[in-house]
Amino acid sequence: MKQILVGASLTALMAGAGLAQSFLGDLAIDPEDARIGTQHYSPFVDQSFPNRVFWGDTHLHTSYSTDAGMVGNALGPDEAFRFARGEKVRASLGDYAQLVRPLDFLVVADHAENLGLAPMISESNPQLLANSWGRQVHDLVKAGNPLAAYVLWGESMMVNTDPLDDDDLTRTFYNRIVDTAEHYNEPGVFTALNGFEWTSVTNANNLHRVVMFRDGADKVADIVPFSNYDSSDPEDLWDWMEAYEARTGGKVMAFPHNGNLSNGLMFDDTRANGEPLDVAYAESLLFRQSGH
């Protein structure tokens, strides 16, 4: 029996050593550097590349996104960040949910188009009610017909016409998200990133991009997120991003998602304006999507 146990132990040790060597290989470290006593004390000091993996979500919507808040999602940015950090949160339908392992980071990327419309309706926001369209969707929801209100909003999206056209209102609700991110951001423990989603829907095709900032509230607060109402052309979004960086000294990137729903337009061989792709376009695309 002792021989069997010794043999099993040796096998386990050899297997563990093999896994360790495999893990070290994944980090691109020479296995010889990991042998204690044969090399200098800190073999990792000379590395010039990151080798820690962080887990998070860069595309999360709360009730502040009309396509979420108008169809039953009652949870806002506060609940989103709490849930990401590992807290137990009560979901919209009443059940409790909690992550087995908390995330390292989160971007609350709510749609820029009429950002905050659902909570505006819930609160009966005076600025919303002062707008005839705003009062119409408000009254539909309060009368128990949120689907009709959502359809009404969708019609505006399809024709790129902002039915509210109120930058102050958008800014107010975006600042709530920024303030919540600042509250839950804890360097070294959890990163609450600022962002939003630009929702280009050319001919009802998905050309959406998540816009993510490297900056805190000192630079991001009081912006009005660039929306599909401003333009459905990504080059105009990139111009807006360039202007933001020039004005604030900050950094921002924009990356697409769900290109499979773009009917091929996300991978078209022409630009949104009909012009052919060129080197300048390719460089701008790479620069704006890489985080430079």
Indicate whether 130 and 153 sit together in one domain. Answer: yes
Average pLDDT over all residues of the chain = 86
Indicate whether 44 and 62 sit together in one domain. Answer: no
Indicate whether 43 and 181 sit together in one domain. Answer: no
Mean pLDDT within 226-250: 96
Q: How far is CA 244 from the centre of its chain?
A: 18
The dihedral built from the CA positions of residue 162, 163, 168 and 171, taken in this order, carries a sign that is negative
Neighbouring-strand partners of residue 111:
197
Query: Looking at 7, 31, 51, which one is the last position of a domain?
Result: 51
Read off the pLDDT of residues 151-205 as tens digits, 9 standing for 90 and up: 999 998 888 899 999 999 999 999 999 999 999 999 999 999 999 999 998 888 8
With 50 as the cut, is the pLDDT of residue 7 above it? no
Identify whether 10 is part of a domain.
no
Mean pLDDT within 71-81: 96
What percent of the chain stands above pLDDT 90? 66
Q: How far is CA 249 from the centre of its chain?
A: 21
Indicate whether 124 and 236 sit together in one domain. Answer: yes
Read off the pLDDT of residues 128-144 as tens digits, 9 standing for 90 and up: 999 999 999 999 999 99
Identify whether 292 is part of a domain.
no
Indicate whether 140 and 180 sit together in one domain. Answer: yes
Tokens of 63: 């009730």
With 80 as the cut, is the pLDDT of residue 40 above it? no
| Rounded CA separation 35/257 (Å) | 44
Q: How confident is the model at residue 233 (pLDDT cuts 50, 70, 90)?
A: very high
Q: Is 124 left (phi over 0), alpha (psi -120 to 50) or beta?
A: left
Q: Looking at the chain, how many residues does it have?
A: 292
Q: How confident is the model at residue 43 (pLDDT cuts 50, 70, 90)?
A: low
Region of poorest pLDDT, from 87-101, 146-160, 239-253:
146-160
Residue 51's pLDDT is what? 76
Structural domain count, the chain: 2
Identify whether 4 is part of a domain.
no
Identify whether 9 is part of a domain.
no
Closest alpha carbon to 77 in 38, 52, 110: 110
| Rounded CA separation 251/242 (Å) | 9
Indicate whether 43 and 114 sit together in one domain. Answer: no
Indicate whether 41 and 94 sit together in one domain. Answer: no
Rounded to 10 degrees, what is the CA torsion of 283, 289, 290, 291? 120
Identify whether 8 is part of a domain.
no
Residue 260's pLDDT is what? 83
Q: How confident is the model at residue 264 (pLDDT cuts 50, 70, 90)?
A: confident
Residue 267's pLDDT is what? 86
Neighbouring-strand partners of residue 256:
209
Residue 130 CB: number of other CB atoms within 10 A?
A: 11
With 90 as the cut, is the pLDDT of residue 250 above it? yes
Domain that holds residue 34: 17-51
Would strands 96-97 and 89-90 be described as parallel, antiparallel, or unpaired?
A: antiparallel
Indicate whether 115 and 29 sit together in one domain. Answer: no
Indicate whether 136 and 256 sit together in one domain. Answer: yes
Indicate whether 199 and 102 sit together in one domain. Answer: yes
